[in-house]
Structure 1
Amino acid sequence: MKLENLGIEDLTVDLKPLDHVMGKHAFIRADQWDYERVTYDYKIGSQEKNITYYVRIQGYAIEGNVDRRDAVIKLMTPLLGKHYYPHGIEYGEEENFPKNLIERAKNLIKEAKEELIQYKK
């Protein structure tokens, strides 16, 4: 599910402060990157058996290189996904997401965005 119109999409930020702020807000990049792209995930547990939710924020380098940590990243529209063990994450609009989970995801993104704005390029 796309989480649109939250003001984080199209934000451009240097990678170093982006990593710092996202980590501060528990969005983990881990090994989810290549030379031109980054992905930050926030994991949300569930009472449902074998289900975990993820708030995902992706971005791509408009300048520099992620590997050299000199990239300027343009963020994309965040996603809310549902992980079905062991099959993977589904982001489709046909997925059923609880309203309180959607609101929680939006608030997490808004909080990170408010801090990222000060690093906007």
Structure 2
Amino acid sequence: MKFEKTGYETIKADLNRLDEVMKSHGLVREGQWDYERVTYDRKFEIKEGTFYLRVFGYAAEGDVGAHDAVIQLMTPLLGKHYYPHGVEYGEGEDFPNHLVAKCEAILADVKKEIAHFAE
């Protein structure tokens, strides 16, 4: 599920500050990066299954591996995990309303904090 109209696709921000804000909201980068891309994940284990809120981005400037990059964020996604196949984001997936509302609130809070230092 795409979270359209969040405005994330217009945000560019410093990687290190972005890491701090994302982590404070439970979105972790950990090993989800290469030198040009990042993925921030928050895992939700609820009775309906395991879900991931994901915020993707890419280096508009600099190098992620050197911790010196400006990250262009992309449209956030919510996906459902199916063992052992992976995460599905498709339109045919059923996402609980309470989870969607929680993810929207998290994304709004993150965006508000990022606005203080975004380019």
What is the TM-score when the length of structure 2 is the normalising length? 0.96
CA RMSD of aligned residues (A): 0.9
Q: What is the letter of the counterpart of residue 71 of structure 2? A: I
User: What corresponds to 1:89 in structure 2?
Assistant: 87
Runs of 4+ in 1 over 6 A off after TM superposition: none
Q: What is the letter of the counterpart of residue 102 of structure 2? A: R
Structure 2 counterpart SS, 1:21: helix
Structure 1 spans left out of the alignment, 5+ residues: none
Report the identity percentage.
52
Structure 2 spans left out of the alignment, 5+ residues: none
TM-superposition CA deviations, 1:64-116 (whole Å, max 9, x none) = 00001110000000000000122210001111111111111111111111101
User: What corresponds to 2:15 in structure 1?
Assistant: 15
Report the alpha carbon displacement of residue 7 of structure 1 after superposing the two structures with TM.
Answer: 2.2
More strand by share: 2
User: What corresponds to 1:55 in structure 2?
Assistant: 53
Q: Does 1:64 align with 2:34?
A: no
Cα distance in 2 for partners of 1:63, 1:87 equals: 33
Cα distance in 2 for partners of 1:86, 1:112 equals: 31
Matched residue pairs, number?
A: 119
Q: Does 1:26 align with 2:20?
A: no
Structure 2 counterpart SS, 1:96: coil
Q: What is the letter of the counterpart of residue 43 of structure 1? A: K
Cα distance in 1 for partners of 2:91, 2:103 equals: 15
User: What corresponds to 1:45 in structure 2?
Assistant: 45
User: What corresponds to 1:108 in structure 2?
Assistant: 106
Report the alpha carbon displacement of residue 4 of structure 1 after superposing the two structures with TM.
Answer: 0.8
